[in-house]
Copies of this chain bind each other. A is one copy, B any other.
Amino acid sequence: MPVTIREVAKAADVSITTVSRALNGYSDVSEETRRRIMRVAEELNYRPNAVARSLVTNRTRTIGFLVSELSKGRTGHYYLFPILYGMQDRLAELGYDLILVSTTTTRQREITYLDFCTERRVEGVVAMGLRLDDPYLHEIVESPLPSVVIDVPLLSDRCGYVMTDNVYGAKLAVRHLLGRGHKKIGFVNGHSQAAVSMDRRRGYEEAMVSAGFRADQLPVFESDFTLEGGKQASEILLEKHPELTAIFYASDLMAIGGLRFLHERGRNAPKDLAVVGFDDVELSEVVTPALSTIRQKRYEIGVTAAEMLVEMMDADGFPQGRMLAPELIVRASS
């Protein structure tokens, strides 16, 4: 059993109250006593029991991290890791820890998201990977628990969001292709239940319309964000629109699927088709040809989510929606 505050007090010959004050940096302790207590605590290797402290302060400094249904073989984790790291790093600095909120709550009794957080006295939640038709989405957004969702622009009383400015990102991609002289630019979108899909489509359409194309005649195909999906989408889209000289994909994985499709047909990017993706996952830099893409600042998204949440919790800040600027990365594929 670990050392308790009582043992430290006894060894330092003071009351536990004084130990508590000394160790928590209160000013009303004489320097001499403080030093003695610190020394004793050190010698005994004392570690305050966070559980006991939480019970009295009513603060657990615990943040829930929820990734929806990711266990089901989704490929989304190629995208989310840097976000997680950004969150974790910043939260550690701010003195918070992350606990994973299981979505496959197969515990003895079924337990909801909010029940879990209530029992554990989780102070706030960051959620990602949520589809618009995800049953959790509503629960999280409407819950009184402070929360931040990634990539879903829903604001409520206690829920903010962080995401990339996808409309702008898509425009960057299209303008880049237009600038390269392309006129026939297709778009392979992600599934319709992702909020980002709508924005990326809008960005694509607006940029194309600005360039003089008719919105209702744009070559668009809806896929599912995966590599395989991107491959199939490319085939279908190019069959229907053989005149295309460029395709913008709403994810790197789909774009890589496109590259693969081309390769299988003995064709190549950027010669036969210019290819631009979205996300800038690690893979994009190393595929052949290296993939041009719209970089999302994923680590920063994580950091921002962390700070926003803590501000809601600690400083009574109200929920905000924050858009981070993406960045065009030109590589070999376009």
Residues of A bordering B, CB below 8 Å: 2, 47-52, 54-55, 60, 62, 65, 70-71, 73, 75, 77-78, 81, 85, 88-89, 92-93, 95, 97-100, 102, 104-108, 115, 118-121, 227-228, 231, 257, 260, 263-264, 282-283, 286-288
Output the nearest chain B residue to A116 by Cβ-Cβ distance. B97
| In the complex, chain B residues whose CB is within 8 Å of the CB of A47 | 115, 118-119
Protomer copies: 2
Q: Give, as a whole number of angstroms, the nearest-CB distance from A231 to chain B.
A: 8
With a cutoff of 8 Å between Cβ atoms, the chain B residues found around residue A77 in the complex are 77, 81
Q: Which residue on B lies nearest to A114, using beta carbons?
A: B47
Hey, which chain B residues are within 8 Å of A228, CB to CB? 286
A264 to B286, Cβ gap below 8 A?
A: no
Residue on B nearest A264 in the bound complex, by CB: B288
Report the nearest B residue to A289, measured CB to CB: B264
> In the complex, A77→B81 CA distance in Å?
8
* Chain B residues near A108 (CB-CB < 8 A): 95
Does B288 lie within 8 Å of A263, measured CB to CB?
yes
Give A2's nearest chain B residue, CB to CB: B118
Residue ID in chain B nearest A90 by CB atoms: B106
A107 to chain B, nearest CB (A): 6
What B residues does A2 contact at CB under 8 A?
A: 118
Q: In whole angstroms, what is the CA distance A264 to B263 when docked?
A: 12
**A89-B106 in contact (CB<8A):** yes
Contact across chains for A119 and B48 when beta carbons are under 8 A apart: yes
Distance between A119 CB and nearest chain B CB, rounded to angstroms: 5
- CB-nearest residue of chain B relative to A101? B97
**Cα(A50)–Cα(B100), bound, Å:** 16
Q: How close is A47's CB to chain B, nearest CB, in angstroms?
A: 4
Selected contact of A50 from candidates B73, B120, B257, B287, CB within 8 Å = B120
> A99, B98: Cβ atoms under 8 Å?
yes
CB–CB A71/B85 < 8 A: yes
Structural contact, A88 and B73, CB atoms closer than 8 A: no
Q: Closest 9 A-B residue pairs measured CB to CB?
A: A71-B85, A47-B118, A92-B102, A98-B100, A50-B119, A77-B81, A51-B54, A227-B286, A99-B99
28 contacts across the A-B interface (CB closer than 8 A) = A2-B118, A47-B119, A49-B119, A49-B121, A50-B120, A51-B51, A51-B60, A51-B120, A55-B55, A65-B100, A70-B81, A71-B88, A71-B89, A73-B282, A88-B104, A89-B102, A92-B104, A93-B107, A97-B99, A97-B100, A97-B120, A98-B99, A99-B99, A99-B100, A227-B286, A231-B286, A260-B288, A263-B263
